[in-house]
Amino acid sequence: MLIRLALPSDLPQVRDRLRAVFGPQRADHRLDPVSQLIRAVLGVRTYDEVAWAAFIRLRAAYPNWTALGEAEADAVEQVIDPVTFADQKARQLPVLVRMIRLKRGDLELDFLAHEPVDEAMAWLMRLPGVGPHAAAATLNLSTLDQRAMVVDAHVNRVARRLGLTARQGDAAHAHDEILDLAPDAWDGEALAELHHLMKAHGQSICSHLDPACTLCALREACPRVGVTRDQEGEVVAFAPSLPDASQPRV
Ligand code: SF4
């Protein structure tokens, strides 16, 4: 079945086209909000597989997160290394745990389900090491299942190239801009699926250095903001100044 895509801002069509490539994305398991927050902080500028491995080691070392709040930074760093900025995150995580307990009287974040998303985001971003990405991941990907959009580096790049977000905008603005385009009927699950689809697209097709536009399911409507002709792989293939110009680039 042909899925028509007239504008990249048509998020249901973007979702459907990417779903046709990567399949439906459904969460099999959701972490509790505190665990998801810790997982998200570990994941800042870190590959998923590295962050997940560090999270599993951290959980094994501190089966009760309250104990993480009492841990020495050096001990935490040994457990979470080699995540990016391990020393910094090892200092932030115990403070983060203690701050939640101090502010809430308990180590829980379930109350955020009853707050407006923008206020819940702001509350989380006052914790050490928590930016828009980690805050949105806590609200959207955990059992809170709130209507937030996780904008990591891959999603941010795809959204910018599609013209969904401002070219120079940061992740916080991108979060708000994508939410503004999302249909009102979309719940947290729908936004989580869009995140996973756009991330998979950014990791495989719309990569940082070499977007495979000729293979892209969104190419008809994509304005390719910031993508050079060289990156698209068209001019390079036929540029007469290149020694192997007669050989199309694959
Ligand atoms: S057409 Fe190119 S720039 Fe646009 S989404 Fe596809 S791969 Fe990315």
What residues line ligand 1, using a CB cutoff of 6 Å? 158, 161-162, 205-206, 211-213, 216, 218-219, 222, 224, 227
250 vs 146 pLDDT, higher one: 146
- Residue 245 pLDDT: 33
Q: What is the DSSP letter of 245?
A: T
pLDDT at 33 exceeding the cut of 80: yes
Given this model, what pLDDT does residue 122 score? 96
Residue 173 neighbours by CB under 8 Å, 6+ apart: 165, 166
CATH of 33-141, one of 1.10.10.60, 3.40.50.2020, 1.10.340.30, 2.60.40.1180: 1.10.340.30
> Given this model, what pLDDT does residue 5 score?
60
**Which of 17, 158, 215 is the best mutation target for the ligand 1 pocket, counting ligand atoms within 8 Å of the beta carbon and taking the most?**
158
Opening angle at CA 119, ends 147 and 137, nearest 5: 45
CA–CA gap between residue 78 and residue 82 (Å, rounded) = 9
Distance CA 222, CA 218 (A): 6
Per-residue pLDDT at 145: 97
Which amino acid residue places its CA nearest to atom 2 of ligand 1? 213
| Region of poorest pLDDT, from 39-43, 155-159, 239-243 | 239-243
192 CA distance to ligand 1 middle (Å): 21
Kindly give the distance from the C-alpha atom of residue 117 to the centroid of ligand 1, in angstroms, as a whole number: 30
Q: Supply the pLDDT for residue 231.
A: 65
Please give the average per-residue pLDDT across 210-217, as a whole number. 94
Contact 192, 25 (CB under 8 A): yes
Mutate to test the pocket of ligand 1, among 160, 199, 206 (most ligand atoms within 8 A of CB): 206
Residue 240 pLDDT greater than 50, yes or no: no
pLDDT digit string (tens) for 66-125? 999 999 999 999 999 999 999 999 999 999 999 999 999 999 999 999 999 999 999 999
Is residue 10 pLDDT above 50, yes or no?
A: yes
The closest of 216, 217, 206, 210 to 249, measured between CA atoms, is 210
Q: What is the predicted pLDDT for the residue at 243? A: 31
CB 77 within 8 A of CB 164: no
Q: What is the pTM of this model?
A: 0.87
Residue 139: how many CA atoms within 13 Å on its side-chain side? 32
pLDDT tens digits, one per residue of 216-229: 999 988 999 989 86
Give the pLDDT confidence of 148-206 residue by residue, as tens digits: 999 999 999 999 999 998 867 677 788 899 999 999 999 999 999 999 999 999 999 99
Q: Please tell me the distance between residue 10's alpha carbon and the centre of ligand 1 in angstroms.
A: 15
Atom 1 (ligand 1) nearest CA:
219
Q: What is the Rg, in whole angstroms, of the alpha carbon atoms belonging to the chain?
A: 20
> Residue 247's pLDDT band (boundaries 50, 70, 90)?
very low
Angstrom distance (rounded) from CA 34 to CA 82: 22
Measured CA to CA, the distance from residue 184 to residue 19 in angstroms comes to 20
Which of 224, 229, 230, 232 for a ligand 1 pocket mutation test, highest count of atoms within 8 Å of Cβ? Answer: 224
Burial 17-48 (b: 16+ CB within 10 A, else e): bbbeebeebebeeebebbbbbbbbbbbbebee
